[in-house]
Amino acid sequence: MLIALAPNMALKGGGSRDWERLLSGEARGPLASLGRMGLWLASGLYGAGWWLREAFRKKPVQLARPVISVGNLTVGGTGKTPAVAWIARWLRDRDIQVALLSRGYGADDNRQNDEALLLEEILPDVPHLQGPDRVETGKTAIDELESQLLLLDDGFQHRGLYRDLDLVLIDATCPWGHGHLLPRGLLREPVRGLNRAHAVLLTRCDQVEADRLADLRALLKRKFPDLPVVLTRHHAVGLVREGEDELLPLEQLVGRDVAAFSGIGRPEAFRKTLEQIGARVVDQRVFPDHFAYDRDTVRDLRHWASSQPEGTVMACTRKDLVKLRLADLGGRPLYAPHVELEILEGRETLEALLEKQCEAAMAAEQIDNDSVIHLREREEPSGYAGPYIEEQP
């Protein structure tokens, strides 16, 4: 458990950045080297456990409807939520009844996790079922919600449920999780796991140099020649503020001093988003991924915000805002960029894969409908002509 959570154990004030420097090798010195050695040994234990799970893995359960999985190879933020939202909206635009299935990391009996709260806001017509047993939640979606297609959120390593389409997100800014399994790196499984994928979505392609992106694409082509690669970026299309029904213009942050905070997997990506908008990030606080804001933390944030120079505004991610539900902090307005996925290259490829699953969903539903009709015909007595209706005068 500790091994799996290690990359998320960042503390406010830059702990996440310190952890990244340690894993990447940027941090030097005897203590850093000793720390990496300990993490490398722990990675060996993690790898052994992963191998044992693979060796004794049971055959996945196939449900009566197609399943699309959106996942990744690494822990931390690859920009999965905007990708899930894009796919779900694409399916709904084609009148496909889709349901989201997720484990619900960080949720408890009384509340949903941050991803569920955010997806509920931006996809109000898409039901979201959370639970560790995705087979059971999938059956519930089919039987009770009459879902035609299931969208499995963060499902690449959840092998108990058969999926018809496996989409894997790779963050172009840190594609291989520093080249090691957890906790020495960020990889959940060896990179060869991409052999199970049907397509890769490279995210944050706009945040890396062109030659670095070209090298990454060439490597994927060489190692996985038949794997389609789709290029994407995440871009802010407006600002969200609690109590406002509409998106606010991005210009409200252009040229402004901003104090930012976040509890996500890759806080540096959030900072780059703010800088791309045109904001000047003058201060930043970082919390662990899926951080639960308690009363003491909010009090501390208010004090921190009130200590900022006059004219400074506050900013957090939308995942943080759905948990805070605050319009202001310490007398400063609080904004969250609304980020959406934009496909830069390979849209036709992705849409062709999704269209195939739409056709399979409609075919599966038709088979069920035909089966019900045939069952009714067999159960009805011979010569049955339908219900008796008394003639009206």
Q: How far apart are CA 87 and CA 93, in angstroms?
A: 10
- pLDDT at position 190 is 97
Does 172 lie in the same domain as 225?
A: yes
Does 244 lie in the same domain as 118?
A: no
Cβ density class 80-92: b for 16+ within 10 Å, e for less: bbbbbbbbbbbbe
Does 201 lie in the same domain as 126?
A: yes
- pLDDT at position 298 is 97
Quick one: which of 304, 296, 318, 291 has its CA closest to 259? Answer: 304
List per-block mean pLDDT (blocks of 10 residues) for the chain, which spans 393 residues. 39 60 89 93 96 94 97 91 97 97 71 83 95 96 97 95 98 95 96 98 96 98 98 97 96 98 92 96 94 96 97 97 97 97 98 98 85 53 41 38
Does 80 lie in the same domain as 49?
A: no
Q: How far apart are CA 65 and CA 362, in angstroms?
A: 9
- pLDDT at position 377 is 52
- pLDDT at position 8 is 41
Does 77 lie in the same domain as 139?
A: yes
Does 248 lie in the same domain as 121?
A: no
Residue 38 lies in a domain: yes
Question: Of 323, 338, 353, which residue is a domain's last?
Answer: 338
Q: Which residue range(s) make up the domain with 330?
A: 236-338
- pLDDT at position 5 is 39
Quick one: which of 47, 265, 62 has its CA closest to 154? Answer: 265
Does 103 lie in the same domain as 214?
A: yes
Does 247 lie in the same domain as 197?
A: no
Does 153 lie in the same domain as 7?
A: no
- pLDDT at position 10 is 37
- pLDDT at position 107 is 57
Cβ density class 129-153: b for 16+ within 10 Å, e for less: bbeeebbebbbbbbeeeebbbbbbb
Does 74 lie in the same domain as 47?
A: no
Instruction: Indicate the number of domains in the chain.
Output: 3
Residue 61 lies in a domain: no
- pLDDT at position 16 is 63
Q: What percent of the chain has pLDDT over 90?
A: 79
Q: How many Cα atoms sit within 13 Å of 7 on the Cβ side?
A: 25
Residue 125 lies in a domain: yes
pTM of the model: 0.88
Q: How far apart are CA 339 and CA 82, in angstroms?
A: 7
- pLDDT at position 211 is 98
Does 310 lie in the same domain as 265?
A: yes
Does 241 lie in the same domain as 225?
A: no
- pLDDT at position 24 is 87
Reported in sequence order, the residue ranges of 275-348 that DSSP labels E, i.e. its strands, are 280-286, 313-315, 328-329, 332-345
- pLDDT at position 18 is 80
